[in-house]
């Protein structure tokens, strides 16, 4: 079989870059995600059983059981989750991406992002803010009440606003945010402000209750990660557009569940290549340390997969106050990532590097050749269920995923 890998890779990253993700609305998981059913709960990363599930994913599953009204105590919830009544599956198997634990259950509201170039739709939940939150494995009453408020108040308000404004172009918004000190993953201060600014007039215009409208705008404006989930779904539509290109060595999915790190490669279909998830090099919140940390977790690394996040760190020097390191480290991270990517982004660029396009399209060949794996900006969850976020930092993907994928690629194409 003759393949032209470079040509295939160019096709893959062209598809990444031609994708035009537009945030079109908010709806219930059950109503919009194809294949969803009452007893299916999604989670971040590659597939994992209850037995091997990390603390934060277990915690978020318990919270989801509460939210769905299936149990009232942790013991009851755990009994249900262990019993086999609930089916677990990766978000990525259902066109979705979940930050951190990434748990999505049937009644949760999710953002709908459509790649208007292809019509493909991806989904992601409503962001709860930082700290003690479901996606970090917390499930207290406060957490569940906030989830309910997101479902009942914020979700519908944002949906009405998005419909009224005719959708929001995520790629343009991200391109702008990268000129405003955001990396597009761990620092989304500017993107979240832009998001709130775009929405606010339409939230007001379509308000059914003024107090609620004021609260929704305040919540969105004060949460520097408001836009994280639409950005993740947007990045999913980009990388998915470049998936399943025969002969391509470009990575189209990277994801972690706190137990395993996994990748998928464009030319290798839906097979996961996994390795144990490493710990994050992190700055910890007061009172927490490395012993408290769950290994690397979440689907948010879809941003790096699409060419932003850690790959765009050179444009986000202020981020080092949150994740550690120096502005020089931030620049070097981006420069390193050019060594393992196939191209440079047409729409995302870095003013400080003379507007050079961000490193885009991780090439498993280059990762193995240079022995340098993708670097990811990320949050860190407590290892136990029920706690929440403990820090933020930088992590390198395990080499094994890329090595195994390259072997599989060589086998498949008889190289």
Contact 252, 266 (CB under 8 A): yes
Q: Is 327 in the site for a copy of itself (CB under 8 A)?
A: yes
CA atoms within 13 A on the CB side of 294: 35
Helix, strand, coil share of the chain (percent; to 5)? 45, 20, 35
Shortest Å distance, C-beta 167 to a copy of itself: 17
Q: Is 210 in the site for a copy of itself (CB under 8 A)?
A: yes
Nearer to a copy of itself, 289 or 351 (CB): 351
Q: Is 167 in the site for a copy of itself (CB under 8 A)?
A: no
Shortest Å distance, C-beta 177 to a copy of itself: 9
Nearer to a copy of itself, 17 or 319 (CB): 319
Shortest Å distance, C-beta 84 to a copy of itself: 46
- Sole window of 5-13, 116-124, 136-144, 212-220 interacting with a copy of itself (rule: CB under 8 A): 212-220
Residue 256 to residues 43, 92, 141, 348, 376, Cα–Cα distance (Å): 10, 11, 27, 25, 11
The 3-state DSSP class for residue 265 equals strand
Q: Is 179 in the site for a copy of itself (CB under 8 A)?
A: yes
Strands 40-43 and 87-90: parallel
* Rounded Cα distance, 192 and 3, in Å: 42
- Sole window of 27-35, 45-53, 187-195, 237-245 interacting with a copy of itself (rule: CB under 8 A): 187-195
Q: One symbol per residue from 288 to 317: x for binding a copy of itself (CB under 8 A), - otherwise; what is it?
A: -----------------------------x
* Rounded Cα distance, 388 and 393, in Å: 15
Burial of residue 296 (CB within 10 Å: 0-12, 13-18, 19+) is buried
Q: Is 201 in the site for a copy of itself (CB under 8 A)?
A: yes
Q: Is 324 in the site for a copy of itself (CB under 8 A)?
A: no
147 contact partners, CB below 8 Å, separation of at least 6: 63, 67, 108, 128, 134
Shortest Å distance, C-beta 221 to a copy of itself: 4
Q: Is 283 in the site for a copy of itself (CB under 8 A)?
A: no
Q: Is 197 in the site for a copy of itself (CB under 8 A)?
A: yes
Smallest Cα–Cα separation from 380: which of 262, 276, 295? Answer: 295
Smallest Cα–Cα separation from 301: which of 375, 401, 371? Answer: 375
φ/ψ (deg, to 5) at 23: -75, 115
Smallest Cα–Cα separation from 275: which of 291, 263, 292, 293? Answer: 263
Nearer to a copy of itself, 86 or 154 (CB): 154
314 contact partners, CB below 8 Å, separation of at least 6: 330, 331, 333, 334, 335, 350, 352, 353
Q: Is 113 in the site for a copy of itself (CB under 8 A)?
A: no
Among 27, 204, 335, 408, binds a copy of itself (CB under 8 A): 204
Q: Give me the residue label for tokens 């885009």.
A: 360
Among 39, 145, 326, 371, binds a copy of itself (CB under 8 A): 326
What residues from 348 to 367 belong to the interface with a copy of itself (CB under 8 A)? Answer: 351-352, 354-355
Q: One symbol per residue from 125 to 164: x for binding a copy of itself (CB under 8 A), - otherwise; what is it?
A: ----------------------------------------
* Rounded Cα distance, 233 and 171, in Å: 11
- Sole window of 1-9, 73-81, 97-105, 179-187 interacting with a copy of itself (rule: CB under 8 A): 179-187
Nearer to a copy of itself, 89 or 200 (CB): 200
Q: Is 344 in the site for a copy of itself (CB under 8 A)?
A: no
- Structure tokens that stand for 127 in this block: 């962001």
Among 38, 73, 218, 269, binds a copy of itself (CB under 8 A): 218
φ/ψ (deg, to 5) at 389: -75, 145
What's the distance, CA 85 to chain centroid?
27
Shortest Å distance, C-beta 313 to a copy of itself: 12
Q: Is 205 in the site for a copy of itself (CB under 8 A)?
A: yes
Contact 304, 358 (CB under 8 A): no
The 3-state DSSP class for residue 124 equals strand
Shortest Å distance, C-beta 187 to a copy of itself: 9
What residues make contact with a copy of itself under the rule CB under 8 A?
179-182, 189-190, 193-194, 196-198, 200-202, 204-205, 207, 210-211, 213-215, 217-218, 221-222, 317-318, 320, 326-328, 351-352, 354-355
């Amino acid at each position: 079989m003759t393949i032209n890998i470079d040509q295939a890779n160019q096709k893959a990253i062209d598809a990444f870059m031609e994708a035009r993700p537009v945030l079109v609305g908010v709806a219930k998981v059950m109503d919009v995600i194809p294949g969803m059913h009452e007893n299916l709960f999604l989670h971040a990363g590659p597939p994992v059983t209850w037995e091997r599930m990390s603390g934060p994913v277990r915690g978020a599953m318990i919270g989801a059981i509460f939210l769905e009204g299936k149990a009232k105590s942790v013991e009851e919830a755990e009994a249900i989750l262990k019993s086999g009544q609930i089916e677990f599956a990766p978000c990525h198997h259902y066109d979705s991406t979940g930050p951190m634990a990434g748990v999505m259950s049937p009644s949760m509201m999710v953002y709908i992002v459509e790649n208007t170039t292809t019509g493909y739709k991806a989904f992601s939940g409503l962001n709860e803010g930082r700290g003690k939150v479901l996606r970090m494995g917390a499930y207290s009453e406060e957490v569940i009440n906030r989830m309910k408020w997101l479902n009942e108040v914020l979700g519908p308000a944002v949906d009405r606003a998005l419909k009224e404004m005719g959708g929001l172009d995520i790629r343009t918004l991200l391109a702008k945010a990268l000129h405003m000190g955001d990396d597009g993953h761990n620092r989304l201060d500017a993107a979240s402000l832009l998001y709130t600014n775009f929405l606010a007039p339409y939230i007001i215009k379509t308000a059914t209750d003024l107090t609620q409208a004021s609260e929704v705008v305040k919540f969105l404006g004060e949460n520097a990660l408001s836009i994280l989930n639409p950005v993740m779904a947007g990045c999913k539509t980009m990388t998915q557009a470049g998936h399943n290109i025969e002969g391509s060595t470009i990575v189209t999915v990277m994801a972690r569940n706190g137990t395993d790190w996994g990748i998928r490669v464009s030319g290798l279909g839906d097979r996961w290549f996994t390795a144990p998830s490493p710990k994050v090099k992190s700055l910890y919140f007061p009172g927490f340390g490395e012993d408290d940390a769950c290994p690397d977790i979440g689907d948010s690394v879809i941003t790096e997969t699409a060419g932003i996040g850690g790959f765009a760190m050179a444009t986000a020097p202020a981020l080092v106050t949150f994740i550690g390191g120096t502005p020089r480290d931030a620049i070097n991270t981006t420069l390193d990532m050019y060594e393992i990517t196939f191209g440079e982004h047409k729409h995302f660029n870095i003013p400080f590097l003379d507007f050079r396009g961000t490193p885009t399209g991780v090439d498993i060949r280059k990762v193995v050749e240079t022995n340098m794996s993708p670097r990811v900006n990320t949050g860190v969850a407590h290892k136990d269920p029920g706690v929440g976020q403990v820090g933020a930092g930088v992590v390198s993907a395990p080499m094994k995923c890329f090595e195994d994928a390259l072997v599989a690629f060589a086998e498949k194409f008889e190289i």
